[in-house]
Amino acid sequence: MIVGQRKPVEEIAEMVKDVKKLVIGGCGTCVTISFAGGSKEVAELAAALKLKAKADGREVAIRELTPLRQCEEEYTEPMKADVEWADAVLSLSCGVGVQTLADLFPNARVLPGVNTTMLGSHSADREFKEYCGACGDCILDETGGICPIVRCSKSMLNGPCGGSTGGKCEVSQDIDCAWDLIFKKLEALERGEDWDVVKPARDWRASWHGSPRIVK
């Protein structure tokens, strides 16, 4: 899933300081799970911005919306009347959602309220681990389902490096050595022979085809 973190209230307040009618749009999937843009976060931010406006001696009218997904037009199209009412739309979604709104409503001023940080997995309460770099050339079949591109601090395709000790990365003892995990997983799968296969230098063109890319 896409993981994001809400921008600081002070930064958002500065962005909307001249806005009298504001729509705050959350997103009911990824950023809801990462506690950045669900209906709860929309309500909390709306309350904070109203208090800030009052303290500054101005009024602001805010409408709160949380479609299931902002990245798909079928869910954002029903926002049309609210978007046309507003001076600006503050999107609490990933960057994809922000740009989808901007494309769908070309006359709207769409502002980002979230910093998109990574593709990750929800592993514990309020904890997310980066598991995928969207590199465009997946080799998880060769590494026991563990990605060395993002889970190895050096993105090594053949490891472990000389700094790995006791299954931990030399960068930090809080980081598991990805190649130690890969080796143990391949052993458990009785695929130890895959360990000996030397992977060639990576062709990074698979992850860059010019921008923006279109996948059909």
Closest by alpha carbon to 165, among 157, 177, 178? 177
Ranges for all domains in the chain classified under CATH 3.40.50.2300:
2-118
Please, which pLDDT band fits residue 209 given cuts at 50, 70 and 90?
A: low
Asked whether the beta carbons of 207 and 137 are under 8 A apart, the reply is yes
Structure confidence at residue 124 (pLDDT): 67
Please check the confidence at residue 207 and state whether its pLDDT lies above 70. no
pLDDT value at residue 213: 52
Per the CB < 8 A criterion, the answer to whether 134 and 209 are in contact is no
Q: Average pLDDT of 148-160?
A: 93
**Mean residue pLDDT across the chain:** 90
Question: Residue 58: which residues within 8 A CB-CB, separation 6 or more?
Answer: 20
Q: Indicate the CATH number for domain 2-118.
A: 3.40.50.2300
Of all residues in the chain, the percent with pLDDT exceeding 90 is: 73
pLDDT for the residue 167: 96
